[in-house]
């Protein structure tokens, strides 16, 4: 085929391609609603300050070495996985402006959470003290208090390589058993 003919064929294919696929041509952009499915709700890498939803999502953040319950407003009930990811992302700009922080900042050791009966099982990729946090008790407390704020979660257990992992309670003792917010009562800021 001659070079000019090849260019003509390529140009025609580019122009007729979308029509051949059944995609109608439009003059202006329009929003597209994604199909409903498992991945519809995702956590953003940067938390937003928008509080336009009607459903409360509770997270525990840190202020003055205490755990503070924070209510965010979301549009749909978050799954346990979404709430866990929202916690790991950390405070919003307005929460930071209010003096809130996270003992989980930069922590990459918490890799997954799933619900078994009413126990949230958090998978840890390394040793707890490998996360680079200054206070692992607050970090574990944030996870436990956040996940047990859900009505479907009665406790939180931690595993590594399929086995139970001992984690600290507020009093410094270690436990392999599922923990609840009451294990961190002494760290909770007054409401």
Q: pLDDT of 125-155, one tens digit each?
A: 866 654 334 488 999 999 999 999 999 999 9
- What pLDDT is attached to residue 108? 59
DSSP string, 96-153: HHTT-B-TTTT---EEEEEEETTEEEEEESS-GGGS--S-HHHHHHHHHHHHHTSTT-
What residues does 55 pair with on adjacent strands? 74
**SS3 for 165?**
coil
| Residue 12, both tokens | 């025609």
Q: What is the DSSP letter of 83?
A: H
Kindly give the pairing relationship between strand 155-160 and strand 119-124.
Answer: parallel
Q: pLDDT of 20-65, one tens digit each?
A: 444 456 565 554 443 333 233 333 444 555 457 899 999 999 999 9
The contacts of residue 164 (CB under 8 Å, 6+ apart) are 157, 158, 176
Report the share of the chain in percent with pLDDT over 90. 58
**Residues 59, 90: contact at Cβ < 8 Å?**
no
pTM: 0.71
How far does CA 71 lie from the centroid of its chain? 15
């Amino acid at each position: 085929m001659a070079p000019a003919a090849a260019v003509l064929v390529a140009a025609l294919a580019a122009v007729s391609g979308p029509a051949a696929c059944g995609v109608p041509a439009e003059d202006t952009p329009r929003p597209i609603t994604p199909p409903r499915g498992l991945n519809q709700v995702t956590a953003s890498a940067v938390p937003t300050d928008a509080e336009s939803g009607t459903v409360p999502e509770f997270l525990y953040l840190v202020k003055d070495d205490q755990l503070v319950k924070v209510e965010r407003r979301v549009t749909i009930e978050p799954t346990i996985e979404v709430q866990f990811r929202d916690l790991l992302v950390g405070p919003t700009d307005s929460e930071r402006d209010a003096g809130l922080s996270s003992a989980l900042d930069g922590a990459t050791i918490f890799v997954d959470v799933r619900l078994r009966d009413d126990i949230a099982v958090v998978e840890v990729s390394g040793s707890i003290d490998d996360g680079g946090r200054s206070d692992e008790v607050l970090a574990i407390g944030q996870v436990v208090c956040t996940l047990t704020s859900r009505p479907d979660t009665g406790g939180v257990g931690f595993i590594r390589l399929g086995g139970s992992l001992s984690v600290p309670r507020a009093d410094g003792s270690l436990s392999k058993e599922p923990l609840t917010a009451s294990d961190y009562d002494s760290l909770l800021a007054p409401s």
